Amino acid sequence: MDNTIKVGMAELSALNHPGVLVTIGLGSCVGIALYDREKKVIGLAHAMLPSSLQIKNNTNTNKGKFADTAILELLDEMIRLGASRKNIIAKLAGGAQMFTFNDSSDIIRIGERNVIAAKEKLRELNIEIISEDTGGNYGRTIEFYSDDGRLVVKTLGLGTKEI
Amino acid sequence: MKISDFKQLDGFYLDVLREVGNIGAGNAATALAKLMKKKVIMDVPNVKIMEFKEVSELMESAEKLVIGVLIKILGDLPGYILFIMEYKTARLLVDIIMEIAQNPEVASGEFSELEISAIKEVGNIVAGSYLSALSTLTGLKVQTSIPSIAIDMAGAILSVPAIEFGKVCDTVLYIETKFSEGTTNIKGDFILIPALESYEIIMKALGVGN
């Protein structure tokens, strides 16, 4: 498909059918994919940190950086494109733990915390999570298709799956 | 001084980091030469500031197979240091260290446990060289943890330092290091990730800010 948009770290993007949203090399960040099945509007956020509220020195206004603010911003963007709130469902990917140390450092658990934060925000907004491929210790490339909302998850060495 | 963007940093701070890079590269070249029993030449390192969306493209493609060695910094200057290189670069390096004939077929193979240890050791040496340069310049004491290694997509590995930077600012600072042995060029990148409290400590030690 021609209409392919790359979503980089701390970015988010939404589009009307037809199109594909892609994130390459998702690690500890969480990929939040939202889909309006009827209107075929898709949105993808690539959030780095769980919450905009937990950050000291947060002088920036980069909403895509945090799972909580990224979800809200992405919803707004999709509604602007004609999606209806009640039709929207969610899929999650990423949140891996890339390195291991002998203690439970913050840097190590960030992937897990990102996934938890995304789930909490989606629950609060009453958006159903219909599938996820999260955790583990490996990177993922994700492709989100507008025709049927499938999320293709590719890895190096662990194959490809569809969620 | 609160740091929200490295672009706000004055030239002096970047010059100091570049100087740390220079001294560190010199130290690293000496240490690697010992390990490889060969002459190692190191280029003047390149200090760069990147936006998050550029980070995953640091190794050309976010999907490229790379090796990352992450070391925790303990002592006066808590943080992390990540040494990252392409998989095939690591293969070359290991072959030189272990004196394996450079066979392209072997070059795509997986690393043995012993070879993984050798890569960790290289990461340790190079990271240690930078940290001792930083320690000399600032007068701060630093120690390092046992290295942790990951072999995966560049973007996924680089997300780890990017997230740490994300807690403080919207950019990532890294040092690109090229070293060569004979005709073999080996390129590695360094990302120094100070913990939140370390920025002020570095600045104070360098006499920058208030």
* Whether the predicted pLDDT of A59 surpasses 80: no
pLDDT at position B210: 47
Comparing A8-17, A129-138, B27-36, the range with the smallest average pLDDT is B27-36
Helix residue ranges, H only, A29-156? 67-80, 106-124
Quick one: closest CA in A to B50, which residue? A9
Residues of B with CB under 8 A from a CB of A: 2-5, 52-56, 61-63, 65, 68, 70, 72, 80, 145-146, 148-150, 152-160, 162-164, 166-170, 196
pLDDT at position B15: 73
pLDDT digit string (tens) for A15-55? Answer: 999 999 999 999 999 999 999 999 999 999 999 999 888 66
CB contact under 8 A, A8 and B52: yes
B66 vs B25 pLDDT, higher one: B66
How confident is the model over B67-74, as a mean pLDDT? 90
A8 vs B: CB within 8 A: yes
Averaged pLDDT of chain B: 78
CB contact under 8 A, B68 and A99: yes
What is the spatial distance between Cα B84 and Cα B94, in angstroms, rounded to a whole number? 14
State the greatest distance between any 2 C-alpha atoms of chain B, in Å, as a whole number: 57
CB contact under 8 A, B166 and A138: no
User: Which segment, A3-7, A97-101, B184-188, is predicted with the most confidence on average?
Assistant: A3-7
* Whether the predicted pLDDT of A146 surpasses 90: yes
* Whether the predicted pLDDT of A57 surpasses 90: no
* Whether the predicted pLDDT of B80 surpasses 80: yes
CB contact under 8 A, B152 and A139: yes
pLDDT digit string (tens) for B87-107? Answer: 888 888 888 777 765 555 554
pTM for this entry: 0.86
In what helix (H) or strand (E) does residue B158 lie, and over which residues does it extend? helix B154-166
ipTM of the complex: 0.89
CB B100 within 8 A of CB B114: no
pLDDT at position A145: 97
Q: What letter represents residue B198's amino acid?
A: S
A139 vs B: CB within 8 A: yes
* Whether the predicted pLDDT of B77 surpasses 50: yes
pLDDT at position B92: 81
Q: How confident is the model at residue A100 (pLDDT cuts 50, 70, 90)?
A: confident
B53 vs A113 pLDDT, higher one: A113
Quick one: closest CA in B to A52, which residue? B167
Quick one: closest CA in A to B2, which residue? A57
CB A144 within 8 A of CB A33: yes
pLDDT at position B189: 79
pLDDT digit string (tens) for B134-180? Answer: 888 888 888 888 899 999 999 999 999 888 888 877 777 777 777 77
Burial of residue A82 (CB within 10 Å: 0-12, 13-18, 19+) is exposed
